[in-house]
Amino acid sequence: MKKVLEIKNLVKNYGTRGFQSRVLKGIDLTIYQHDFIAVMGPSGSGKTTLLNLLSTIDKPTQGSVFLDGTDITRCSNTQLSQIRKDKIGFIFQDYNLLDTMTLQDNIALPLSLNGVSSKECIQKTKKLAEMFGLREHLSKYPYQLSGGQKQRGATCRALISDPEIIFADEPTGALDSKSSRDLLECLKMVNDNGQATIVMVTHDAFSASYAKDVYILSDGMIKCKLTKGSDRKEFYDRIIDMQASMGSDFS
């Protein structure tokens, strides 16, 4: 199985010398093609810091992050920009759609910036929109869409350039329960179809139960890994039990 992301002895400190706080304390993790993992942990456990390091938003104090065989911790800003464009898709909690563009243009934006022809942009956009139940909304602007529609549109935008990996930061955080379920079913579908390798940070056990594996961070370290069996409800119950046993605030 192809390694998409390999993390070795990842350490992150914040603060000045003599007053440093160690947020991550030597993380080791390998993510393979078509994995769908959720990262959970109590508030302050380092899960957002970890996501920022893996997605090239921040750089570690120590350690290596290999994305598709390239150590991104040693890349220049120019190289990182190219990696983000070619290999990474982002899904943010607040959608990050451009209000002045239609949903179709928002979804197609990564391809347009890469110089892909308008014909191919439209074809790929319509194909993804069909999968995500957005075909009839493509001519609308973000203010005309529900939160769930906007987040599914943002997910289409993240997928359209066929990235090596998708990073999702609390993707259901601003959604109601039905919209959350619709989005998670879509993420599971594209992962099951082999179209996406997904790393999702979430505080929500229901969201995490859609992943194949859940890693629990606590005090800057991976404390345990839960692997889904054949039943999502049973997996959800195990995640809830683990949260209860830790007795921490997972917000």
| 137-142 LR contacts (CB < 8 Å, sep 24+) | 137/103, 138/102, 138/103, 138/104, 138/107, 139/102, 139/103, 139/104, 140/102, 140/103, 141/99, 141/100, 141/101, 141/102, 141/103, 142/95, 142/97, 142/98, 142/99, 142/103, 142/106
Q: In order of start, what are the domains of the chain with their CATH numbers?
A: 3-97+165-246 (3.40.50.300)
Q: Whole-prediction pTM value?
A: 0.94
> Phi and psi for 66 in degrees, rounded to 5?
-100, 120
Tell the burial category of 231 from Cβ atoms under 10 Å away from its Cβ (0-12, 13-18, 19+): exposed
The per-residue pLDDT for 249 is: 73
pLDDT digits (tens), the chain, 251 positions? 899 999 999 999 998 877 889 999 999 999 999 999 999 998 888 999 999 999 999 999 999 999 999 999 999 999 999 999 999 999 998 899 999 999 999 999 999 988 899 999 999 999 999 999 999 999 999 999 999 999 999 999 999 999 999 999 999 999 999 999 999 999 999 999 999 999 999 999 999 999 999 999 999 999 999 999 999 999 999 999 998 888 767 76
- What integer pLDDT is reported at residue 193 of this predicted model? 94
